[in-house]
């Protein structure tokens, strides 16, 4: 959600400034471009060199930047126009008061007054300062200007007191920004359930029946849904992948039965469900308590059918938009249409092992999207991240059509 955003971070002179190194790192990790502006006193609390190294941009403090050979002007107007978001953290009582009155006696305040983007501020001060009537009046004035407060928390303060006024933690600031940006997005306020990866069906404590699914397609779908504002439950079979988006709850399972149970726990509250997992159709009828020793030339294992997760969801579907996946090797379109109808789906995503670039373990996929009216749209080979965008675009076109 922050990927590609230009973020201007203003740091003022408070002890909480040391936390901004972690904040810069989190913003960069989230894909943002970050530039840092310090007040004169902020440099006493956090190293400009550290911030420059982490942000990969020079740290600015004064209007004029001089060296032995030249004099450069730090253009506050250009900085204000560059930013998609501006964050002032920590925001001291002194700086907040100047922001509310329009005082402009340093580069940070000049940039603030020039900014055309949303401005967030994270107050940080001692308890008595935070509760003072003038501070309350400052907050009200800034709110009237359209500035957005990232509320302070309660905890141990630099004075030794315990109470309100502690700057929000970097992780909480990041979450606050992401939740702000998610408002108004196509899936904001919606719940999405996605299955991903393979299932492993145990033979004995060592061996299992499984498949080559990596989970990449399901994880990509979850990431796009979260970026569109959805609260996502990702039920994943064994996979080395991770889901770090704050709107994604990752539930790891192993067997088809475990996946069945977890999906049904969340199904009734879901608005959209995409079953992208490669679920084993069969499991051993009996799991050996001990490792099966190699003895005879042949080993026969009795298999029994697993519950059909997608069919079970289709049979109890109410208002959910339900999407399945079909991986086929022959009669692809007809088999996918049959699955679509039999399992009461709203749409099915078809990929064929006959198509180069499609299949398990790859970073690319080639799909056809088939809706319940049997309208088919076929896409070229793309990365699975791009395929996930295509799939969500098709779903959103049809959900309320």
- Enzyme catalytic residues: 211
What residues contact 112, with CB distance under 8 A and at least 6 apart?
10, 80, 86, 88, 99, 119
d(CA 175, CA 246): 7
Nearest CA among 208, 202, 260 for reference residue 235: 260
Q: What's 229's DSSP letter?
A: T
Taking the CA atoms of 345, 349, 354 and 358 in sequence, report the sign of the dihedral they define. negative
Could you give the count of Cα atoms lying within 13 Å of 327 in the half-sphere of its Cβ?
A: 15
Beta strand 272-275 with 321-328 is: parallel
Question: Among candidates 367, 395, 368, which has minimal Cα distance to 383?
Answer: 367
Number of C-beta neighbours around residue 244 at 10 A:
10
Give the closest residue to 86 by CA, choosing from 62, 113, 65, 104.
Answer: 113
Q: Which two tokens stand for residue 386?
A: 């791009």
| Per-residue DSSP letter, 59 | -
Distance CA 398, CA 401 (A): 5
């Amino acid at each position: 959600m922050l990927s590609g955003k230009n973020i201007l971070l203003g740091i003022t002179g408070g002890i909480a400034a040391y936390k901004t190194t972690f904040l810069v790192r989190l913003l960069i990790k989230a894909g943002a471009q970050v530039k840092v502006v310090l007040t004169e006193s902020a440099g006493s609390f956090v190293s400009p060199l550290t911030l420059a190294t982490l942000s990969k941009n020079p740290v600015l403090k004064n209007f004029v930047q001089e060296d032995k050979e030249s004099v450069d002007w730090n253009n506050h107007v250009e900085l204000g126009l560059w930013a998609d978001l501006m964050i002032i953290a920590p925001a001291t009582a002194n700086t907040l008061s100047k922001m509310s009155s329009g005082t402009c006696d340093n580069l940070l305040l000049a940039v603030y007054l020039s900014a055309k983007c949303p401005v967030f501020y994270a107050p940080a001060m001692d308890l008595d300062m935070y509760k003072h009537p003038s501070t309350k009046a400052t907050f009200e004035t800034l709110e009237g200007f359209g500035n957005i407060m990232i509320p302070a928390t309660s905890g141990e303060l630099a004075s030794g007191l315990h109470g309100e006024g502690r700057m929000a933690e970097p992780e909480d600031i990041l979450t606050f920004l992401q939740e702000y940006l998610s408002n108004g997005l196509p899936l904001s306020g919606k719940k999405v359930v996605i299955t991903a990866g393979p299932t492993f069906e145990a033979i004995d404590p060592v061996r299992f029946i499984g498949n080559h699914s990596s989970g990449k397609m399901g994880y990509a779908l979850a990431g796009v849904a979260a970026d569109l504002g959805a609260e996502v439950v990702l039920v994943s079979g064994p996979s080395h992948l991770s889901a770090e988006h704050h709107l994604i709850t990752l539930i790891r399972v192993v067997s088809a039965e475990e996946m069945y149970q977890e999906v049904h726990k969340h199904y009734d509250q879901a608005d959209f469900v995409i079953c992208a997992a490669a679920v084993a159709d069969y499991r051993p009828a009996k799991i050996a308590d001990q490792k099966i020793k190699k003895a005879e030339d042949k080993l026969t294992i009795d298999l029994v059918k697993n519950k059909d997760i997608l069919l079970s969801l289709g049979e109890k579907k109410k208002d959910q938009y339900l999407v399945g996946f079909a991986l086929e090797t022959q009669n692809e379109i007809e088999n996918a249409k049959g699955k679509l109808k039999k399992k009461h789906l709203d749409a099915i995503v078809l990929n064929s092992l006959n198509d180069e670039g499609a299949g398990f373990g790859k970073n690319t996929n080639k799909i056809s999207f088939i809706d319940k009216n049997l309208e088919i749209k076929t896409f070229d080979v793309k990365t699975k991240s791009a395929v996930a965008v295509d799939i969500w675009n098709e779903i959103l076109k049809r959900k309320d059509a």
